[in-house]
């Protein structure tokens, strides 16, 4: 036997993951997720969730450098895996002995028990579960015994298989119009991908990963090094061009449903870009960000609606600047009283501001003017030369234009004096002030820019849905936007896009997540903070130091400018 202390670790992790397995089962996640097949007839999302706990337990049951022998490692994995199975088995037994438990734990249903016991009844099923979890624990533990060049392909192959299986419904939706029926039937089951497809994906992904590590990476690196600066620049342009072309034709590929999802994601990207300026650049924690979204939407609604509430009945394009302007002004108005506040205090006040706007919108006081809980209907649609925007595809391009504008503005501001002031403010407000940075204008500029983006998002949102209701503008939107920029990487522009895709796009596409959305956010935030505090796609350090050659050239140029002036 090895030292008992390392076995303690396996026991501890096994118990933790066991409790996790029990929780996800008892709150109904396993059962809800069981309807989605990843690999037809083999693995459902619910099972994946359940089984991954044992895999994780096994993986963390020992660590390299603890002097554990391979056999010891496998043994630890087994212990952790078996322990992970214990709490769910207890749940099965309890549910069998006292069926009344369902009155209190509504999610402990017969079908959940069937999932946990593989439809084999209490005794046999429990034993199977124990065995499966034990084996998975061993696999998890053994994974770390493998050399890195084997680990990576296995992991990527596995992840590719699961990812594609998970999104099979969407792939099917996209491929259906172009692909022969026979091929589709071969690739996809009733739900999920067929086992053969899964194996093919695994082999391809793992094979590619292995090839990349052994040869591809070096070859690519060689080519990159040998490339002349001008070719590198051309290639970059080509890549960006291809990316833009891809984004432009995306709605044609995706179809209406997915384009609608893209519209929602795009709206959140636009808001995320705005909040990224306030929180990511300037470090001002704003929890009432939805207020500006609401203001943009309501101004758009009131100015363009055909119903009795309307003020102008003017066109979308004429109303758009007013929406953005109103949100910007609101940003400044909120900014002034909170200039002297920091951190938590700022967060609380902005939270209150968001609530004030929401309460005002539903209030009876303003009902005659802005519709109260009945909201505003018949909001105007944009029109270009007689062409009216109706379909999600049309709005896709409008939102895309908004996002591109916001990216451009963020990017220009970030790299300018203003961006430096924001970041200095974020890093240390007192020092920033002592360096001569004017706090008032710097903070107000951040609030105003952030609010303007949000107002733009709100205006497009109102027009896209053609009706708005107060309950669309709750605190949850603020939390969503904040979470997505944290997960993506605070202060990073690509991070906002990645964050929105993960936190908004995925739950929209996988409807089972809807109920557990907040849980998912919480879990993702914690995992991000623990494993990747800088976010999924952090912003790189901008290289600005000039080297000898640049310095001389720059000096010459500067002198030329001087002599010309």
Partner 1 sequence: MTNILETRKVVKRFGGLVAVSDLTFNIPQSSIVSIIGPNGAGKTTFFNCITGFYNIDEGDIVFNGRSIKGRSPDQIARLGISRTYQNIRLFNSMSTIENILAGMEPQLRSNWIGALFHLPGTVKEEREALLEANRLLDFVGLRGKGDDLARNLPYGDQRRLEIARALASKPKLLLLDEPTAGMNPRETAETTEFIKHLRDELGITILLIEHDMRVVMGISEHITVLDYGKKIAEGKPAEIQSNPQVIEAYLGRGAAASATIEVPA
**557, 513 in Cβ contact below 8 A?**
no
C-alpha distance from residue 552 to each of 104, 299, 520, 546, 562 (Å): 77, 54, 54, 9, 15
Helix (H/G/I), strand (E/B), else coil: 376: strand
Candidates 206-214, 241-249, 385-393, 417-425; binding stretch for partner 1 (CB under 8 A): 417-425
Residue labelled with tokens 């609608």:
260
Question: Residue 555 CB, nearest distance to partner 1 (Å)?
Answer: 7
Residues 320 and 450: their CA atoms lie apart, in Å, by 16
Q: How many CB atoms lie within 10 A of CB 27?
A: 17
CA dihedral sign, ordered 261, 265, 270, 275: positive
Phi/psi of residue 37, nearest 5 degrees? -80, 135
Encoded one letter per residue, x for contact with partner 1 by CB under 8 A and - for no contact, window 530-559 reads -----------xxxxxx----x--xx-xx-
Distance CA 522, CA 67 (A): 36
CB of 243 to partner 1, least distance (A): 23
**Residue closer to partner 1, measured from CB, 36 or 426:** 426
Closest approach of partner 1 to the CB of residue 541, in Å: 5
Q: Which of 154, 423, 465, 519 binds partner 1 (CB under 8 A)?
A: 423
Q: Which is nearer to partner 1, 279 or 424 (CB)?
A: 424
For 7-45, give the DSSP string: HHHHHHHHHHHHHHHHHHHHTTHHHHHTTSEEETTTEEH
Is the Cβ of residue 383 or residue 428 nearer to partner 1 in the bound state? 428
Kindly tell me which of 150 and 339 has the beta carbon lying closer to partner 1: 339
Is 340 an interacting residue with respect to partner 1 (CB under 8 A)?
no
Interface mask toward partner 1 for 162-181; x: CB under 8 A: --------------------
Angle (deg, nearest 10), helices 4-26 and 45-60: 160
Q: Which of 35, 416, 526, 527 binds partner 1 (CB under 8 A)?
A: 416
Q: What is the Cα–Cα distance from 267 to 472, expressed in whole angstroms?
A: 13
- The least CB distance from residue 417 to partner 1, in Å, is 5
Neighbour tally for 169: CB within 10 Å? 15
Taking the least distance from each CB to partner 1, the nearer of 119 and 554 is 554
Interaction pattern, residues 346-365, with partner 1; x per rule: CB under 8 A: --------------------
- What's the closest the beta carbon of residue 241 comes to partner 1, in angstroms? 22
Question: Which listed range, 191-199, 214-222, 392-400, 423-431, lies at the site for partner 1 (CB under 8 A)?
Answer: 423-431
Binding to partner 1 by residue 412, rule CB under 8 A?
A: yes
420 scored as a contact of partner 1 (CB under 8 A): yes
CB 543 to partner 1: min, Å: 5
* Residue with smaller CB distance to partner 1, 359 or 435: 435
Half-sphere exposure of 490 (CA within 13 A, CB side): 19
User: Binding string to partner 1 for residues 426 to 465, with x set by CB under 8 A, is what?
Assistant: xxx-xxxxxxxxxx-----x--------------------
Q: Which helix (H) or strand (E) holds 384?
A: strand 383-384
State phi, psi for 388 to the nearest 5 degrees: -100, 135
Of 384 and 435, nearer to partner 1 (C-beta) is 435
Interface residue with partner 1 among 424, 457, 486, 496 (CB under 8 A) is 424
What Å distances lie between residue 382 and 215, 296, 308, 316, 324, CA to CA?
A: 52, 15, 20, 5, 16
Smallest separation, CB 100 to partner 1 (Å): 56
State the nearest-atom distance from the C-beta of 324 to partner 1, in Å: 15
DSSP string, 377-426: -S----EETTEEP-SHHHHHHHHHHHHHHHHHHHHHHHTSHHHHHHHHHH
CB 321 → partner 1: shortest distance, Å?
16
**Residue 450 beta carbon to partner 1: minimum distance, rounded to whole angstroms:** 13
**Closest separation between CB of residue 558 and partner 1, Å?**
6
Q: Give 233: exposed, middle or buried? Use CB within 10 Å, 0-12, 13-18, 19+.
A: exposed
# of chain residues touching partner 1 (CB under 8 A): 37
The residues that bridge with 384 in the sheet, in sequence order, are 387
Between 349 and 423, name the residue whose CB sits nearer to partner 1. 423
Q: Are 424 and 437 within 8 A, CB to CB?
A: yes
CB of 92 to partner 1, least distance (A): 50
Q: Tell whether residue 401 is a contact of partner 1 (CB under 8 A).
A: no
486, with CB counted inside 10 A (0-12, 13-18, 19+), is buried
Least CB distance from residue 338 to partner 1, whole Å? 18
Instruction: Pick the binder of partner 1 from 421, 499, 516, 520 (CB under 8 A).
Output: 421
Please say which residue, 231 or 441, places its beta carbon nearer to partner 1. Answer: 441
Q: How far is the CB of 422 from partner 1 (least distance, A)?
A: 10
277 touches partner 1 (CB under 8 A): no
DSSP state, residue 189: -
Tell me whether residue 18 or residue 491 sits nearer to partner 1 (CB atom): 491
Residue (248 or 416) nearer to partner 1, CB: 416
Query: Going by DSSP bridges, is the β-strand pair 43-44/387-388 parallel, antiparallel, or unpaired?
Result: unpaired
Which CB atom, from 64 or from 542, has the smaller least distance to partner 1?
542
Give the contacts of 95 (CB within 8 A, at least 6 positions apart): 101, 102, 108, 113
Q: Are 460 and 263 in contact (CB under 8 A)?
A: no
Q: 245 vs 546, which CB is nearer to partner 1?
A: 546
Residues 6+ positions from 244 with CB-CB distance below 8 Å: none
Cα(107)–Cα(270) distance, integer angstroms:
37
Interacting residue ranges for partner 1, rule: CB under 8 A: 409, 412-413, 415-418, 420-421, 423-424, 426-428, 430-439, 445, 541-546, 551, 554-555, 557-558, 561
């Amino acid at each position: 036997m090895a030292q008992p202390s390392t076995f303690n670790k396996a026991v501890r992790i096994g118990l933790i993951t066991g409790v996790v397995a029990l929780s996800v089962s008892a709150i109904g996640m396993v059962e809800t997720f069981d309807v989605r097949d990843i690999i037809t007839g083999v693995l459902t999302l619910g099972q994946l969730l359940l089984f991954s706990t044992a895999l994780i337990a096994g993986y963390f049951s020992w660590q390299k450098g603890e002097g554990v022998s391979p056999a010891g490692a496998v043994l630890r994995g087994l212990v952790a895996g078996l322990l992970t199975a214990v709490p769910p088995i207890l749940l099965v037994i309890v549910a069998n002995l006292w069926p009344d438990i369902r009155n209190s734990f509504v999610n402990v249903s017969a079908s959940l028990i069937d999932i946990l016991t593989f439809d084999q009844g209490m005794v046999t099923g429990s034993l199977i579960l124990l065995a499966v979890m034990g084996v998975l624990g061993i696999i998890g533990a053994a994974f770390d015994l493998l050399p890195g060049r084997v680990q990576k392909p296995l992991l990527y192959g596995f992840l590719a298989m699961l990812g594609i299986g998970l999104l099979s419904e969407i792939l099917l939706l996209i491929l259906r119009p172009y692909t022969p029926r026979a091929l589709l039937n071969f690739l996809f089951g009733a739900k999920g991908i067929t086992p053969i497809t899964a194996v093919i994906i695994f082999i391809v992904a793992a094979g590619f990963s292995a090839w990349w590590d052994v040869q591809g990476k070096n070859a690519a690196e060689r080519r990159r090094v040998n490339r002349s600066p001008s070719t590198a620049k051309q290639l970059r342009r080509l890549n960006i061009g291809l990316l833009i072309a891809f984004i432009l034709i995306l709605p044609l590929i995706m179809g209406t449903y997915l384009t609608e999802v893209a519209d929602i994601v795009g709206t959140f990207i636009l808001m995320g870009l705005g909040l990224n300026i306030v929180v990511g650049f300037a470090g001002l924690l704003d929890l009432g960000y939805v207020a500006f979204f609401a203001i943009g939407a309501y101004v758009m609604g009131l100015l363009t609606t055909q119903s009795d509430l309307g003020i102008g009945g003017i066109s979308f394009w004429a109303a758009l600047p007013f929406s953005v302007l109103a949100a910007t002004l609101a940003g400044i108005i909120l900014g002034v009283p909170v200039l002297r506040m920091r951190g938590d205090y700022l967060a609380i006040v902005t939270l209150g501001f968001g609530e004030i706007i929401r309460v005002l919108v539903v209030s009876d006081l303003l009902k005659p003017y802005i519709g109260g809980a009945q909201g505003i209907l018949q909001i105007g649609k944009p029109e270009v030369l007689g062409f009216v925007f109706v379909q999600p595809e049309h709005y896709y391009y409008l939102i895309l234009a908004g996002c591109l504008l916001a990216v451009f503005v963020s990017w220009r501001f970030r790299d300018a004096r203003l961006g430096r002031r924001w970041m200095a403010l974020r890093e240390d407000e007192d020092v920033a002030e002592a360096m001569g940075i004017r706090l008032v204008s710097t903070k107000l500029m951040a609030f105003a820019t952030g609010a303007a983006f949000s107002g733009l998002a709100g205006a497009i949102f109102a027009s896209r849905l053609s009706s708005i209701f107060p309950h669309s503008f709750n605190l949850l939107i603020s939390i969503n936007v904040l979470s997505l920029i944290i997960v993506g990487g605070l202060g990073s522009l690509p991070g906002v896009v990645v964050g929105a895709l993960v936190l908004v796009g995925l739950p929209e596409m996988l409807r089972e997540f809807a109920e557990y959305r907040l849980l998912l956010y919480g879990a993702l935030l914690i995992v991000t903070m623990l494993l990747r505090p800088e976010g999924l796609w952090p912003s790189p350090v901008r290289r600005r130091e000039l080297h000898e050659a640049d310095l001389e050239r720059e000096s010459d140029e500067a002198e030329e400018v001087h002599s010309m002036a």
